[in-house]
Amino acid sequence: MNTNTIKGQMPTTAIEDLKELASRAEFKKLLYVPSLNWVLIISCLLSLMAWLYLSNEWLAGNLSAWWLTLLSTYTFFIFILTVHEASHLVLSRNRWVNDILGTLLTVIPYPQLPIVQFRHQHLTHHRDTCGVEDPDDYLYQGAWLTRMLKVFTHDFYWCYWSFSNRDSASRSTTVINLFSMTIYISVLVLGFTSAYWYEFLMLYVIPQRIGFFVAILMFAYVQHPPEKCSVKEQSPFMTTAIMRGFDSPFAKVYFGQNRHLIHHLYPNMPIYRNWQAWQLGKDIFERQNLANIGIDAEKFTQLNAQNQEQHKQAKHNQEQQSHLYVTIANIEQVAQGINCYTFEPSENGQNLPEFEPGAHIDVEVKDGLVRQYSLCNDYQQNDCYQIAVQCEENGRGGSKLLHEMFKVGQVVKISKPRNLFALKPASNVLLFAGGIGITPMLAMAWKLHHQGTPFELHYCFANTDKWAFKQQWSTMPFANNINVYIDEDNNSAALNAEQLLSSDASANVYVCGPEGFMNYIENSAKKVGLAKEQFNKESFSGAEQGDVNSNKEFTLKVTGHKQEFLVPKDKSIIQVLKENNIFVPMSCENGVCGTCKCKVKSGEVEHKDLVLNEREHFEKKLFTPCVTRAKTDVLEISL
Q: Residue 627's domain spans which residues?
A: 548-638
Element (H, E) at 358: none
**49 and 139 both lie in a single domain:** yes
Ranges of beta strands (E only) in 232-374 are 241-244, 291-294, 323-335, 338-345, 359-366, 369-374
Of the residues 204, 220, 236, the one at which a domain ends: 220
Element (H, E) at 104: helix 95-106
**25 and 38 both lie in a single domain:** no
Q: Which residue(s) pair with 318 in the sheet? A: none
Of the residues 514, 539, 564, the one at which a domain ends: 539
Q: Which of 6-15, 129-138, 285-294, 461-470 has the lowest mean pLDDT?
A: 6-15
Q: Which residue type occupies 542?
A: G
**456 and 557 both lie in a single domain:** no
* DSSP output for 33-50: --SS-HHHHHHHHHHHHH
- Contacts of residues 4-7 at CB distance under 8 Å and 24 or more positions apart, as own/partner, are 5/231, 5/233, 5/234, 6/233, 7/233
Q: Would you call 152 helix, strand, or coil by DSSP?
A: helix
Mean pLDDT value across residues 66-87: 94
> What's the pLDDT score for residue 604?
85
Rounded (5°) CA angle 241-247-253? 95
**271 and 200 both lie in a single domain:** no
- The answer to the question of residue 597 being in a domain is yes
pLDDT band at 350 (very low <50, low <70, confident <90, very high): confident
Instruction: Give 494-529 pLDDT, tens digit per residue.
Output: 899 999 999 888 899 999 998 889 889 999 998 999
Reply yes or no on whether the pLDDT at 619 is more than 50.
Answer: yes
Ranges of beta strands (E only) in 474-534 are 482-486, 508-513
Look up the CATH number of the domain holding residue 501. 3.40.50.80
**112 and 141 both lie in a single domain:** yes
Rounded (5°) CA angle 588-594-597? 115
- The answer to the question of residue 406 being in a domain is yes
Taking the CB of residue 226, how many other CB atoms lie within 10 A of it? 12
CA-CA distance, 147 to 525, in Å (whole number)?
59
- Helix, strand, coil in percent for the chain, rounding step 5: 45, 15, 35
**259 and 402 both lie in a single domain:** no
Q: Which residue has the higher pLDDT, 541 or 469?
A: 469
CA-CA distance, 403 to 401, in Å (whole number)?
5
Reply yes or no on whether the pLDDT at 208 is more than 70.
Answer: yes
- The answer to the question of residue 305 being in a domain is no
CA-CA distance, 339 to 399, in Å (whole number)?
10
Q: Would you call 206 helix, strand, or coil by DSSP?
A: helix
- The answer to the question of residue 281 being in a domain is yes
**110 and 183 both lie in a single domain:** yes
> What's the pLDDT score for residue 543?
33
Reply yes or no on whether the pLDDT at 94 is more than 90.
Answer: no
**201 and 108 both lie in a single domain:** yes
Of the residues 203, 220, 237, the one at which a domain ends: 220
CA-CA distance, 139 to 127, in Å (whole number)?
17
Instruction: Give 418-430 pLDDT, tens digit per residue.
Output: 888 899 999 999 9
> What's the pLDDT score for residue 5?
52
Q: What percent of the chain has pLDDT over 70?
A: 95
Cα atoms in the 13 Å half-sphere on the side-chain side of 422? 8
- The answer to the question of residue 302 being in a domain is no
> What's the pLDDT score for residue 547?
45
> What's the pLDDT score for residue 546?
42
Q: Which residue has the higher pLDDT, 16 or 344?
A: 344
CA-CA distance, 562 to 560, in Å (whole number)?
7
- The answer to the question of residue 306 being in a domain is no
* CA dihedral over 487, 488, 490, 491, signed as positive or negative: negative
If 0-12 CB within 10 Å is exposed, 13-18 middle and 19+ buried, where does residue 387 land? buried
**288 and 278 both lie in a single domain:** yes
Give the CA dihedral 154, 155, 156, 161, nearest 10 degrees: 90
Q: What percent of the chain has pLDDT over 90?
A: 58
Q: For residue 365, which phi and psi values (nearest 5 degrees)?
A: -70, -45
Please say whether the beta carbons of 381 and 342 come within 8 A.
Answer: no
Q: How many helices (H) and strands (E) does the chain have?
A: 23, 21
Please say whether the beta carbons of 181 and 110 come within 8 A.
Answer: no
**524 and 414 both lie in a single domain:** no
Distances (CA, A) of 527 to 419, 429, 499, 530: 29, 18, 11, 8
* Axis crossing angle, helix 95-106 with helix 38-59, rounded to the nearest 10: 10
pTM score of the predicted model: 0.71
Instruction: Give 378-418 pLDDT, tens digit per residue.
Output: 999 888 999 999 998 766 668 889 999 999 999 999 999 98
If 0-12 CB within 10 Å is exposed, 13-18 middle and 19+ buried, where does residue 420 land? exposed
Give the CA dihedral 397, 401, 404, 409, nearest 10 degrees: -150
**70 and 20 both lie in a single domain:** no
Q: Would you call 53 helix, strand, or coil by DSSP?
A: helix
**496 and 624 both lie in a single domain:** no
- The answer to the question of residue 132 being in a domain is yes
CA-CA distance, 85 to 256, in Å (whole number)?
14
Mean pLDDT value across residues 229-249: 89
> What's the pLDDT score for residue 284?
94
Rounded (5°) CA angle 595-598-600? 155
Reply yes or no on whether the pLDDT at 544 is more than 60.
Answer: no
Please say whether the beta carbons of 408 and 554 come within 8 A.
Answer: no
> What's the pLDDT score for residue 491?
62
- The answer to the question of residue 303 being in a domain is no
Look up the CATH number of the domain holding residue 627. 3.10.20.30
Distances (CA, A) of 168 to 172, 195, 523, 594: 12, 43, 38, 20
Ranges of beta strands (E only) in 514-582 are 535-539, 554-558, 564-567
- The number of distinct structural domains making up the chain is 5
> What's the pLDDT score for residue 426?
92
Q: For residue 616, which phi and psi values (nearest 5 degrees)?
A: -65, -35
